[in-house]
Amino acid sequence: MRVKEIFQVYKENIMPTYNKVPLIFVKGKGSRLWDIKGKVYLDFFPGWGVGNLGHCHPKVMQGLRDQVSKLIFIPNNYYHPFQAKLAKELIYWSFPGKVFFANSGAEANEGAIKLARKFGDSSASEASQGRYEIITFENAFHGRTLATLAATGQKKYQKGFCPMPEGFKQVKLNDIVAFKQAITDKTVAVILELIQGEGGINIAERDFVLALRKICDEKRLLLIIDEVQTGIGRTGKMFCYQHYGITPDVMTLAKALGGGMPIGVMIVKNEFSDLLTPGMHASTFGGGPVICKAALGVFKAIQKDKLLKNCQNMGEYLLKKLNLLKTAYPIVKDVRGMGLMFGMELNINGKQVVDKCIERGLLINCTHEKVLRLMPALNISKNEIDKGVKILEEVLKGCA
Ligand SMILES: Cc1ncc(COP(=O)(O)O)c(C=O)c1O
């Protein structure tokens, strides 16, 4: 198909649910992407958080190739070795518990919401029965299904789809007083992103998270940590919660776990992991052999290529460079982040910056209108960072 025809077919045959950039990509390797005309782009936002290993990592490709020639799919009423291996790997890196396999971040969170409802329904003590309310945080993002939209709480995403499922309320991030005031005898759980990704790279403060953990223990609330965007090494540790010295009761993952293949998981602490019994929850494609092999490739790559260390080192390097831009250009209001997950808040609308970066061959993202989001692959090199920051600087200079 030619370029014009592809655009035309999209226009006529694909639902217009995305704001699209007129670029057609055909090949990717590491932090580089090739468009249909052969132009090369440096990708500082690979796959909206999916590309922690960059594009087409050899370990992921090898896992996929090995498996497709043997068995592509087997449903969840049977067993296969690679779901077992992946569950073991996930528990090894996180906390003692059990895993449920799904296909996306929203689906993983949907599972966590159902688990919380079941917990409220079946808790041992009389006083805790009939609890269903879940507290989430302003500017959070947990997905696009109805329940995860209700958890997300942002009016701009909910508009047109009301009524929302009941039982969700939002409080301000890092406001422990507001959180305490929001708890009622119906509250059963909290869902928290430790760094709000879509919300503009807002970081949960350590004291706030520690206090939250304590309150959850005291009041028997499930602490559900949504690591769909922060997980799998993005912040320099395998999971972001590991920076805080807490353990979640439930953690959800997706995006980078499959190395580009669709996967979502919830990991549930042993104490709560048998709440959902046979027939209560399921996902046909969840944890199929091909996807599990890809995800095992992701863990192999992270260890073999020492990507947590590289993320820490390159994160420090990039942060220094971004702070220099902040000093040099007053349109940069703030730079914040952790590991290789950064937000650069501007005084101007970020779309013009994103568009001009794309023209010069650098892919970045803007969220919340003014926050540029940079989440390069964990295996990015100094040289690639230098190239990307140089482009960003030229663009900022032109906008200043
Ligand atoms: C923190 C967080 N949770 C959940 C989701 C939803 O994930 P998915 O698009 O895979 O359903 C996202 C997507 O951006 C996310 O960033």
Distances, alpha carbon 255 to alpha carbons 226, 264, 327, 346, 366, in Å: 12, 7, 33, 27, 18
DSSP assignment letter at 55: B
Tokens 């990717």, located at residue: 28
pLDDT tens, the chain, 400 aa long: 999 999 999 999 999 999 999 999 999 999 999 999 999 999 999 999 999 999 999 999 999 999 999 999 999 999 999 999 999 999 999 999 999 999 999 999 999 999 999 999 965 455 557 999 999 999 999 999 999 999 998 999 999 999 999 999 999 999 999 999 999 999 999 999 999 999 999 999 999 999 999 999 999 999 999 999 999 999 999 999 999 999 999 999 999 999 999 999 999 999 999 999 999 999 999 999 999 999 999 999 999 999 999 999 999 999 999 999 999 999 999 999 999 999 999 999 999 999 999 999 999 999 999 999 999 999 999 999 999 999 999 999 999 8
b vs e for 381-395, b when ≥16 Cβ sit within 10 Å of the residue's Cβ?
Answer: eeebbebbbebbeeb
The reply to whether the predicted model has a pTM over 0.85 is: yes
**Residue 399 near residue 76 (C-beta atoms within 8 A):** no
Ligand 1 atom with the shortest distance to the CA of 196 = 1
CB-count burial class (<10 Å; 0-12, 13-18, 19+) for 166: exposed
Phi-psi region of 200 (alpha: psi -120 to 50; beta: other; left: phi over 0): left
- Bridge-based pairing of strands 222-226 and 202-203 is unpaired
- Please state the CATH superfamily assignment of the domain spanning residues 308-374 in this structure: Aspartate Aminotransferase, domain 1 (3.90.1150.10)
pLDDT, one tens digit per residue, over 225-240 is: 999 999 999 999 999 9
pLDDT, one tens digit per residue, over 329-339 is: 999 999 999 99
Q: Is 197 in the pocket of ligand 1 (CB under 6 A)?
A: yes
Which residue of 145, 228, 250 sits with most ligand 1 atoms within 8 Å of its CB, as the best mutation to test the pocket? 228
Q: Is 252 in the pocket of ligand 1 (CB under 6 A)?
A: no
Domain 59-304 in this protein, CATH class = alpha beta
**Residue 376 near residue 318 (C-beta atoms within 8 A):** yes
Q: What residue spans define the domains of the chain? A: 59-304, 308-374
Q: Is 367 in the pocket of ligand 1 (CB under 6 A)?
A: no
Please tell me the distance from the alpha carbon of residue 329 to that of residue 311, in angstroms, as a whole number. Answer: 26
Task: Give, in degrees to the nearest 5, the angle at Cα 205 between 179 and 97.
Answer: 80
Contacts of 309 (CB under 8 A, 6+ apart): none
Q: Is 298 in the pocket of ligand 1 (CB under 6 A)?
A: no
